[in-house]
Amino acid sequence: MLIAFVVLYLVLTVAVGLWAATRVHNSKDYVLAGRSLPLYMSAATVFATWFGAETVLSVSATFSRDGLGGIAADPFGSSFCLLFVALFFARAFYRMDLLTIGDFYHKRYNKPVEVATSLAITLSYLGWTSAQLTALGLVFSVLSGGAISLETGIYMGAAFVLGYTIWGGMWSIAMTDLVQSVVILIGLGLVAWLVADMAGGADKVIAAAAEAGKFEFWPQGGAKEWLAFMAAWMTLAIGSIPQQDVFQRVTSAKNESTAVRGCLIGGVVYFSFAFVPIFIAYAALLIDPGYAKLFASEDAREIQRILPNLILERTPLWAQVLFFGALLSAILSTASGALLAPTSLFTENVIRPFTRHMGDRQFLLLLRVVLVTFTLAALIFAINSKSTMYEMVQNAYKVTLVSCVVPLVAGLYWKRANVTGAALAVAFGLVSWGTAEFVAADATVPPQLVGLGFSVLGMLLGAFVPRPARQHAAPHEHAAAREPHR
């Protein structure tokens, strides 16, 4: 019966996505939903995109094992990212009327910087997207009682998400996000109420977590522990700012004010509601302490089974339907956006310059071909990774932290930022980070902070290198530099 309800929900999701596809008439509709989303849809897309598989299954389990200090990246870092975007980037992005985040690097700097940053951002999505596909595989495997293997489930999940994203693009994502947000809020809310009662009350769960030291947030130890803590937080708080999915949700709003408010509301709701699955997961350990055995598994991904196992083994059918409906909503809303974002970026900023005479209809076809290709790449990554979803997401944003953040921030707020500085920032950041990961991954200073530091150094060096006369005359640089101060 549960599987029948899940199948029905998946069918309805596809139906909504295909209905939304009727609104797609050109590439701007496909990528940005025609820049027409009202506030409630804009906020829903921000919330639903960030509230994904790692939030429900992985962050919750990580808290149960490591406490608040183990989840500095998400939800704390990710929520701060949305706050930073709303306050410092949303207006600038919206006013510049760009199709992708890569267009900013082209407008502010030049084509090589655009291509380099676009490639880095695209590659960063492999981990983010793979985490969602892994979650779908886990859900299908659990629901089938193991009849469907994790790998087969991942293949099935990839095919399903691709099926409704490929036709409607951002319109399909926005419409399904709205429905899925409602399902998430209602479904997980009611399940949390039931599980709290099973554990002896919410106060008992909170008291047990406090007694076990799970609310200790700040790191215990010296410089190495503090730097690791800050690196984890910064990886999502700052490293996820130059991401196409964040950019798309901001610029899909109907106006500048809606873009800012939608990002703020979505971020606040996300941070608040992220603690619901955390509460449910810790309550599971009180209901059945045997679930703690999953923490000792050699496969780190096993800890993510705490919630699915609890729901299937301990709750009535209505709770199972609500939980898996909410879980699938969280996964699908994030996965669809995680597929479209790198597809849009790579197609527009890496491939399209070589197809200048392509019409809009042909460009739409190209977008869909790249979407299929990226899905296959993420599928291969997911099948071969043994990391938890939480770890996969953190690793994904290290790439953009060390290569794309400095050129973005400097390009918006520092008039001396130039092409040389941007190129050096990207090169220094990636090379130093890669070297540190290879030779000293466990050093006192985490590799991503090394990369970020060298990226800043590259921008500073470039700012004081004498620029050619033609660069002084480039009007687009000065216009872009003034853009956020209007």
pLDDT in tens, 265-323: 989 999 999 999 999 999 999 998 888 887 777 666 677 778 888 888 888 888 888 88
Q: Are 295 and 386 in contact (CB under 8 A)?
A: no
Q: Is pLDDT of 475 > 60? A: no
Please name the residues in contact with 469: beta carbons below 8 A apart, sequence gap of 6 or more: none
Q: Where are the alpha helices (DSSP H) in 238-316?
A: 244-251, 256-273, 275-287, 306-314
Average pLDDT in the 321-342 region? 78
- Which pLDDT score is estimated for 18? 67
Q: Which residues lie across from 253 on neighbouring strands?
A: 37
Output the furthest CA–CA distance in the chain (Å, rounded). 73
One-letter amino acid for residue 145 of the chain = G
First-to-last alpha carbon distance for the chain, in angstroms, is 57
Q: Is pLDDT of 442 > 80? A: yes
Q: Where are the alpha helices (DSSP H) in 347-418?
A: 360-384, 389-403, 405-413
Token output for 280: 């449910």
Q: What is the C-alpha separation between 186 and 190, in angstroms, rounded?
A: 6
- Which pLDDT score is estimated for 172? 63
pLDDT in tens, 383-426: 887 766 667 777 778 999 999 999 999 999 999 999 999 999 99
- Which pLDDT score is estimated for 33? 59
- Which pLDDT score is estimated for 89? 93
Which of 428, 412, 413 is CA-nearest to residue 462? 428
Q: Are 120 and 400 in contact (CB under 8 A)?
A: yes
Q: What's the pTM?
A: 0.80
Stronger pLDDT, 464 or 449, i.e. the higher one = 449
Q: pLDDT tier at 77 (50, 70, 90 boundaries)?
A: very high
Q: Are 483 and 96 in contact (CB under 8 A)?
A: yes
Q: Is pLDDT of 63 > 70? A: yes
Q: Is pLDDT of 205 > 90? A: yes
One-letter amino acid for residue 317 of the chain = L
Please name the residues in contact with 413: beta carbons below 8 A apart, sequence gap of 6 or more: 484
pLDDT in tens, 143-187: 887 788 888 888 888 887 787 677 656 666 666 667 777 888 888
Calculate the average pLDDT of the chain: 83
Q: What is the C-alpha separation between 19 and 1, in angstroms, rounded?
A: 27
- Which pLDDT score is estimated for 299? 65
Stronger pLDDT, 470 or 136, i.e. the higher one = 136
Q: Is pLDDT of 478 > 60? A: no
- Which pLDDT score is estimated for 292? 82
Please compute, for residue 143, the number of CA atoms within 13 A of its CA located in the half-sphere on the CB side. Answer: 23
pLDDT in tens, 4-29: 877 787 777 777 766 766 666 666 56
- By CB atoms closer than 10 A (0-12, 13-18, 19+), residue 96 is middle
